[in-house]
Amino acid sequence: YLSRANLINGNLRTKKVWKGIVAVLLTGGVISCAISSQTEIWWNKQVGHHNPTIARIINQAERPLVISNVSSVNPGDVISLSYLLNPQVKLQLVIPPTIPDIPQGFSDVFLFYPSDHLQQGLEEKYSTKIEWFDESSVKPLGKLRL
């Protein structure tokens, strides 16, 4: 509003100053958009900020399966991850309290932000442990050793 009012109603010098201000703002906006559109992670892309790294790990597997339960992860995380995964990667979303059967034929089984219930259930059902890729308190990716 301020720039519009000064561009229309201001004197000649004020109009020139405000034209310059508007030009700088528009140029800055275009440059910012160009830079942020080319990056995998940006300050405003909070959902899925681990996903590029996670996708690189999963995509290295020959025939991977990724299991996640619907309630423990933001659906946006799963959707954004799916765009980064190779076509041979299969996703299995589980509705709690279900502990899924793992189909045959997968080289690696990954867990994406699994709930405590899903972790414990899979470890008990398959008598195994989960190998975590991140040692932080939030564990976005684990691998089930079968």
In three-state form (DSSP H/G/I as H, E/B as E, the rest C), the secondary structure along the chain is CHHHHHHHHCCHHHHHHHHHHHHHHHHHHHHHHHHHHCCCCCCCCCCCCCHHHHHHHHHCCCCEEEEEECCCCCHHHHHHHHHHCCCCCEEEEECCCCCCCCCCCCCEEEEECCCHHHHHHHHHHCCCCEEECCCCCCCCEEEECC
- As a whole number, mean pLDDT of residues 140-146 equals 89
pTM above 0.75, yes or no: no
Q: Where are the domains of the chain?
A: 2-37, 51-144
Per-residue pLDDT tens digits for 74-89 = 777 888 899 999 999 9
Proportion of the chain above pLDDT 90, given as a percent: 48
- As a whole number, mean pLDDT of residues 29-43 equals 81
Per-residue pLDDT tens digits for 84-129 = 999 999 999 998 888 999 999 999 999 998 889 999 999 999 999 9
